[in-house]
Amino acid sequence: MQEHFIFLHVLNVYDSLLLMTTLLSFLLALPLFLKRDRQTSDLLLAFFLISQGLLLFMTVMYYSAVIGPYTAELLFPFQSFPKIILTGIQGLLLLWYARAMMGKPLDIDSKLTWICGFSAVLFCSFSYMTAITGVKLQWFTIACFWGLSFFATFTGIYALKLMRDYDKSLPFRFSNTERRNLSWLRWTAGGLVFVWGMRLTASILYSFEIKFVADIISISSNIPPLFLMSAMVVYSQTHAINTVFRPKESDTQEQEEVASISFNPKHTSHLEDLMIRIKVYQDPELRLEGLADSMDISPRTLSSLLNKHYKKNFYDYVNYYRVLDAQDQLVSVANSEKSIQRIFEDAGFNSKTTFNTLFKKHTGQTPSEFRKRALQQRRVIG
């Protein structure tokens, strides 16, 4: 009994790190499952985290010199099935999660899903036949595994492209983009996709007996997920998209569509009345669709008006008026005791960083410098 691996000291520091990452993935996923107001994006992120944790867990269970033989014997002849299924589906989970964060339909029944499923079945069939019959199909099995690893990496890259296009489209519809911008997800997901590419490279090198380089790449690829998954969860809870939003495929397509629309000159005066007299820009959640409804025109017509007459997108146009409002407040004697944070919030901004950046872009000064100079001018005049 004492020879059983359970009674042996078999875990080194590296294995312990992988198992800690596995445990962390489950601990991070649990609150997402238990949230009362959980959304589809929360559930998909939880499943994605678990898939990454299980892959690292299987790395220890399959490739540990002592534990590996017991795992293979326990799961025979299905020992390869869990890893290949998770390897193939991780890219789809990331893609579905990204689409959920963008407020787009998941499109689960797509060609990518069918390709993943067919490849997984093909791999499992070859693996099973090799284990049961002893037929030399190892290279077919390895090739199928490479195919699924490449598929996961390709799908991850495709998800990154969708997120990039989404971020580019935001200024055309939203006046504040900070909480909707998915740059944080692109960075964390991009890191994980890079890790998948490293694992694929290591697998190929192992097959050609280039073990030293493969070991370095393989070990290096299993460390970043610990930090990337944690960052993904932290940011996801402050950037979730609650409303369905279907951006155009590209900014170029958007501009081509609005360029062909003619508009009534009366729309200009109506728009300026809403901005100057009613000050609709002070609503931090102001959207293109909402402003277009107020003018009783279509969003595409409003986009055309902004692009052709003002040479601005929606984001730049609205925030121009917000900066003007902030300037008026900063020079006002009545607001001399008002904090800068309260001023930019009243003007419609919801991010101090964005406010400072745009304010300096339009005035060449920071808000504090602008207020200080206005105060000095009043003293000189007084």
Per domain, the residue ranges of the chain are: 5-236, 266-381
- Kindly report, residue by residue over 180-209, the tens digit of the pLDDT: 889 999 999 999 999 999 999 998 898 888
- Kindly report, residue by residue over 13-30, the tens digit of the pLDDT: 788 888 899 999 999 999
Find the radius of gyration of the CA atoms of the chain. Answer: 28
Residue 143 has a pLDDT of: 73
DSSP state of 334: G
- Kindly report, residue by residue over 308-329, the tens digit of the pLDDT: 889 999 999 999 999 999 999 9
Average pLDDT, rounded, for the chain:
84
Residue 262 has a pLDDT of: 57
* Angle at alpha carbon of residue 332, lines to 326 and 338, rounded to 5°: 70
Amino acid found at 316: D
Alpha-carbon distance of 260 to 256, in angstroms, equals: 7
The residues, ordered by sequence, that sit 6+ positions from 273 with a Cβ below 8 Å of its Cβ are none
DSSP state of 349: -
Confidence of residue 133 (pLDDT cuts 50, 70, 90): low
* CATH number for the segment(s) 266-381: 1.10.10.60
Statement: residue 121 has pLDDT above 50: yes
User: Which of the following CATH numbers is that of domain 5-236: 1.10.1760, 1.20.1070, 3.40.50, 1.20.1630?
Assistant: 1.20.1070
Confidence of residue 115 (pLDDT cuts 50, 70, 90): confident
pTM across the whole model = 0.83
Q: How many CB atoms lie within 10 A of CB 105?
A: 11
Residue 2 has a pLDDT of: 43
Statement: residue 152 has pLDDT above 70: yes
Dihedral sign (CA 356, 361, 362, 365) = positive
Amino acid found at 278: I
Statement: residue 1 has pLDDT above 50: no
Residue 6 has a pLDDT of: 42
Residue 282 has a pLDDT of: 95
Alpha-carbon distance of 170 to 255, in angstroms, equals: 13
Look at residues 75, 82, 91, 26 and name the one whose alpha carbon lies nearest to residue 59.
82
Residue 292 has a pLDDT of: 93
Statement: residue 131 has pLDDT above 70: no
Q: Which two tokens stand for residue 57?
A: 């867990």
Residue 255 has a pLDDT of: 47
Q: Which two tokens stand for residue 82?
A: 């869990």
Q: What is each CA distance from 239 to 71, 97, 233, 254, 349, in whole angstroms?
A: 40, 13, 10, 24, 16
Q: Do domains 5-236 and 266-381 have the same CATH topology?
A: no
Q: Which two tokens stand for residue 359?
A: 């304010």
H-assigned helices in 222-287: 225-236, 251-259, 266-273
Mean pLDDT of 116-140: 67
- SS3 assignment for 149-190: HHHHHHHHHHHHHHHHHHHHHHHHCECCCCCCCCHHHHHHHH
Statement: residue 378 has pLDDT above 70: yes
Higher pLDDT, 59 or 287: 287
- Kindly report, residue by residue over 219-267, the tens digit of the pLDDT: 899 889 989 999 999 888 776 554 444 444 444 444 444 445 555 778 8
Bond before 82 cis per omega within 30 degrees: no
